[in-house]
A and B are shown apart, each in its own frame.
Chain A
Amino acid sequence: MYTFSSKLKTLAFILMVVGIIGVGYSFFTAPKTLEEAEAIIAAQHHGGHGEAAHHEGTHSETHENKADEAHVTHVEDTVKEGHKLTDEEKAHLASDSVSSIVATAPAAHDSAVAEESHEAHAEAAVAGHDAHKAHDAHATHDEHKEHAEHVFHQLQNKPWAAVYVAALFFMLISLGVLAFYAIQNAAQAGWSPVLFRVMEGITSYLIPGAIIVFIFLVVGVLHFHHLFIWLDPEVVAEDHLIQQKSGYLNGTFFLIRAAVFIGGWIFYRQYSRKQSLAQDEATDNLSYKKSFKGAAAFLVFFIVSESIMSWDWIMSVDPHWYSTLFGWYVFASFFVSGITTIALITLYLKSKGYLEYVNTSHIHDLAKFMFGISVFWTYLWFSQFMLMWYADMPEEVVYFKMRIENYNLPFFGMVAMNFLFPVLILINTDFKRLSWIIVMAGIVILLGHYIDFFNMIMPATVGDQWFIGAGEIGAVLFFLGLFILVVFTALTKVPLLAKRNPLIEESKHFHY
């Protein structure tokens, strides 16, 4: 029997507390109002983050942040003034007709702002010029307001998206392990039964993990967060493309599907665990046969539900975009993460002396899976990317254009982490038997696939406002702590070696 080491338990609690603080901080610092968002935008502009076209006309590069903020109020004041200037309507209209002045006005306005205070400027300016400027500022203001609102929503989404990516990632790791477990059962693999209890321990996280994700989706349908813009009736009212999809993409059906999938996965998890434990005490192989049939049925359900799940929970954050191999792509990503997690936890338990019959051949097999599925992920990543890049159809390619422009390092960095590094390091047979190599490769693979999910969710929800800061790291730490707590608690419940599995003897003596 495994005993949860108190150090690890403390670590899990520390991770959760630090995580909550990080997430809480990011919720606390997210802008509550449009004005706060505008202040953040103004502060960002001089950090060289996303230059917006309408600012270039009215801002001089030498502006300090304070001047910037002052400018925002200045523009607003000017607009009010513009509305007041009703007795100068004629001058306004006159200046409208002179388009050449319109073109040159921003430059003049720019220097004026830089040199003079607003009041002095307003007094000194010629009435006609002033009215014209007001008009110009008015147009700028509309555009600016639209931009500010856009950024405001992105910044508001940021802490939610951070929690969502981490919650989804850890839940899917657990689901990936469940799929691997079912495959091992259905394939009657002779090497893996000594690892079944480890896998069952990891899949125990599926229950709290999937429920958290489900609550997150319910919260979205109730409009507490806006990660799924198709849930927003105002957006749908103006969007014909989403309207066409609303038969599928609507809150009720969305939640029903989620409930069915999560219910199905948790049911199989509980069922297979029960049969596995029953087989230990049984005198015949009835439970084993049941778990075999259960695994086969689950795999059919899984591949359908997984595919739809990836459309619902991940692809629908970009409701204008679609890709046919997306389900497979998501599957490959969390499947390899799941296998890596099995390898890491097995190595941890082995190093503590709990897994008597696990030898380097078992580790070698897991490492081969890590290697192979990493390549499979890359194959799907590239197939999805290359087909869209090659055809360059506007409705498809925006997805990648956005990512390459704004997420260049994460987008290509994950290919290095998920493909180049594991392929080069795990290609060697001797390396696949060395614990420290597996741990190192495993950590890189897990981080790489976290970034993969980050790349799937963030561009649609926070756009170019992304950053891996307190919220993102906090969310990962929180779910990591929860994951460790749940998984290792489940491991303490039953012996780590299945007793009467028909293939257990073969597995104990597995040698490659």
Chain B
Amino acid sequence: MSNKVLHVLYNDDDILMDAVKKTRAAHHHIEEVFTPFPVHGLDKAIGLPHTRIAIASFIYGLIGLTVATTMMRYIMIVDWPQDIGGKPSFSYIENMPAFVPVMFEMTVFFAAHLMVITFYMRSKLWPFKAAENPDVRTTDDHFLMEVAVNGNEDELVTFFQNTGAVEVKVVEKH
């Protein structure tokens, strides 16, 4: 079975937004949209679900807080509770103010870094990764919408030409 897609190119983000809405209304499946910069509201127009990366980050922050607390409680209170300059090392809570800077930084560190790594993994980004750019112009000044071809190909091409596209290509994918 041939796997054909349409590459529809636009040169303005407003036209793109309108085209996305029309495409959605006509029930054509948008595979992907490539843009040179973030287009405000595009994710909503395409109907993408919300990102959950903030929730992940919150959990990572809690993990960082736990790591910092456990580490310092073990080192400073349990393992070798020395008297360092008269600081009370009898229990964690008594000496807690001194640990707060570390607890804070570890929380932020874990929340930030693990969230970024999560982002890279979910977006499949890493060094030496082959770029998936279908048209070099999309990183500069063009917007590209990739739509799956089902049924009448010519009708589909005409439909997209009427959405203000500067170019419509039928591409055999892979």
Contact in complex: B97, A390 (CB < 8 Å): yes
Q: How far is the CA of A385 from the CA of B54 in the complex (A)?
A: 31
B86/A385 in contact, CB under 8 A:
no
> How many interface residues does B have (CB within 8 Å)?
6
Kindly report which residue of chain B lies nearest to residue A392, judged by CB atoms.
B86
Q: Is B100's CB under 8 angstroms from A382's CB?
A: yes
Chain A positions within 8 Å of B100 at CB level: 382, 386
- Residues on B with C-beta less than 8 A from A427 are 58
Instruction: Determine whether the beta carbon of B86 is less than 8 Å from that of A389.
Output: no
Q: Are A385 and B97 in contact (CB under 8 A)?
A: yes
CB pair A390–B98 under 8 Å, yes or no, is yes
- Let me know if A386 and B86 touch, CB within 8 A: no
- Most chain A CB inside 10 Å of its own CB: which residue of B54, B58, B97, B98: B97
How many angstroms between the C-alpha atoms of A429 and B51 in the bound complex?
12
Chain A residues touching B, majority SS:
helix
Q: How near does chain A come to B87, taking the closest CB pair, in angstroms? A: 8
The residue in chain B whose Cβ has the minimal distance to the Cβ of A427 is: B58
Q: Interface size on A (CB < 8 Å)?
A: 8
B85-135 interface (Cβ within 8 A of A): 86, 97-98, 100
CA distance A385 to B100 in the complex (A): 12
Q: How far is the CA of A361 from the CA of B86 in the complex (A)?
A: 51
Within 8 A of A (CB), among B27-75: 54, 58
Contacts of A385 in B (CB 8 A): 97
The CA of A382 and the CA of B100, in the complex, are separated in Å by 9
Rounded to whole angstroms, the CA-CA distance of A50 and B140 in the bound complex is 75
Instruction: List A contacts of B86 (CB < 8 A).
Output: 392
Give chain B residues whose Cβ lies under 8 Å from the Cβ of A390. 97-98
Distance A390 CA – B84 CA, assembled complex (angstroms): 12
Nearest Cβ distance between residue A179 and chain B, in whole angstroms? 27
Q: Nearest Cβ distance between residue A26 and chain B, in whole angstroms?
A: 36
Task: Flag if A389 contacts B58 (CB, 8 Å).
Answer: no
Asked if B97 and A386 make an inter-chain contact with CB atoms under 8 angstroms apart, the answer reads yes
Collect the chain A residues with CB atoms within 8 Å of residue B54's CB: 429
User: For chain A residues 390-445, which have a beta carbon within 8 Å of chain B?
Assistant: 390, 392, 427, 429
Contacts of B98 in A (CB 8 A): 386, 390
The smallest C-beta distance from B44 to any residue of chain A, in angstroms, reads 12
Bound Cα distance from A382 to B58, whole angstroms: 22
Q: Report how far A265 CA is from B97 CA in the complex, Å.
A: 37
Cβ–Cβ < 8 Å partners of A382 in chain B:
97, 100
**Contact partners of B97 in chain A: CB under 8 A:** 382, 385-386, 389-390
A 366-393 binary contact with B (CB < 8 Å = 1; else 0): 0000000000000000100110011010
CA A392 – CA B98 in complex, angstroms? Answer: 12
Q: Shortest beta-carbon distance, B91 to chain A, in Å?
A: 15
Other A-B pairs, 10, CB within 8 Å; known A382-B100, A392-B86:
A382-B97, A385-B97, A386-B97, A386-B98, A386-B100, A389-B97, A390-B97, A390-B98, A427-B58, A429-B54
12 contacts between A and B (CB under 8 A): A382-B97, A382-B100, A385-B97, A386-B97, A386-B98, A386-B100, A389-B97, A390-B97, A390-B98, A392-B86, A427-B58, A429-B54
What 10 pairs across the A-B complex have the smallest Cβ distances?
A386-B97, A389-B97, A390-B98, A382-B100, A386-B100, A390-B97, A385-B97, A427-B58, A392-B86, A382-B97
